[in-house]
């Protein structure tokens, strides 16, 4: 049975008034794709699942769009198929990023073991398919893009790599099924609904969705939306008809 997920991302308005993510993820070009955020969810979703994206813009929430998962690609295929997309976070060329850390405890652990040397094993991906680097357009910290986004490693795995001062996944094939987590939409089942500017409150009212979008700790967890999918699409059709009639 296919599942439906409600996903919040931090959005902003570009110069044309369109809602985008700062890293263009989700990317709503044709076809839409999703390749950076929520690595645990991208790993779990399957072909045929429906993803509904809500943008938090300042203090408001707006519907950006939706798509059905059409394919899950490895990052090498994503790079070959969508080389210009910002949400493809690997490159065949070394980047000029300044080495910045996200997790202070990991940085401290690395320095205690290896001093202030350059952590090369965080700057490249030495795979069975060749050498890859962080994309120049990706702004994730060195301990966040490769370990978390590509390999889904957790802290304990990272500590083992620190002890060896090398990535213990060197030589891994990025073509392995467990790393096929770049999500691409079904060509016939997706919509960018930015122009309708539908607020989340309107969706909640139309679907009777009872769950709070934000946790008490101000986090936005991905929420299951299976029971409300039909009412959601009924409401979207209603809003599209209204917009069409208003434009006449």
Domain ranges of the chain: 4-74+181-247, 77-178
Give me the CATH code for the 4-74+181-247 domain, please.
3.10.590
pLDDT at 158: 85
pLDDT at 165: 87
Helix axis angle for 155-164 and 104-114, nearest 10°, is 20
pTM for this model (two decimals): 0.92
pLDDT in tens, the chain (248 residues): 899 999 999 999 988 889 999 889 999 999 999 999 999 999 999 999 999 999 999 989 999 999 999 999 999 999 999 999 999 999 999 988 888 888 888 889 889 988 888 788 888 999 999 999 999 989 888 888 888 899 988 878 888 998 888 899 999 999 999 999 999 999 999 999 999 999 999 999 999 999 888 888 889 999 999 999 999 999 999 999 999 988 76
pLDDT at 139: 87
pLDDT at 164: 87
pLDDT at 100: 86
pLDDT at 248: 67
pLDDT at 155: 78
């Amino acid at each position: 049975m296919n599942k439906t997920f409600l996903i919040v991302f931090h959005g902003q308005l570009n110069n044309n008034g369109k809602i985008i993510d700062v890293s263009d993820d989700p990317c709503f070009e044709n076809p839409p794709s999703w390749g950076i955020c929520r690595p645990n969810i991208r790993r779990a979703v399957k072909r045929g699942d429906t993803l509904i994206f809500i943008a938090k813009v300042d203090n408001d929430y707006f519907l950006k769009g939706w798509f059905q998962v059409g394919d899950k690609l490895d990052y090498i295929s994503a790079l070959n198929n969508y080389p210009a997309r910002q949400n493809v976070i690997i490159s065949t060329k070394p980047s000029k990023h300044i080495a910045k850390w996200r997790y202070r405890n990991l940085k401290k652990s690395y320095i205690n073991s290896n001093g202030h040397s350059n952590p090369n094993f965080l700057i490249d991906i030495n795979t069975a398919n060749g050498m890859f680097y962080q994309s120049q357009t990706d702004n994730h910290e060195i301990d966040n893009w490769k370990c978390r986004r590509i390999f889904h490693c957790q802290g304990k795995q990272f500590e083992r790599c620190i002890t060896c001062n090398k990535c213990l996944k060197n030589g891994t094939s990025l073509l392995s099924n467990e790393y096929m987590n770049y999500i691409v939409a079904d060509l016939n089942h997706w919509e960018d609904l930015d122009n309708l500017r539908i607020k989340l409150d309107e969706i909640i009212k139309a679907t009777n969705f009872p769950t709070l979008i934000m946790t008490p700790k101000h986090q936005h967890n991905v929420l299951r939306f299976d029971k409300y999918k039909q009412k959601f699409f009924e409401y979207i059709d209603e809003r599209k008809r209204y917009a069409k009639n208003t434009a006449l």
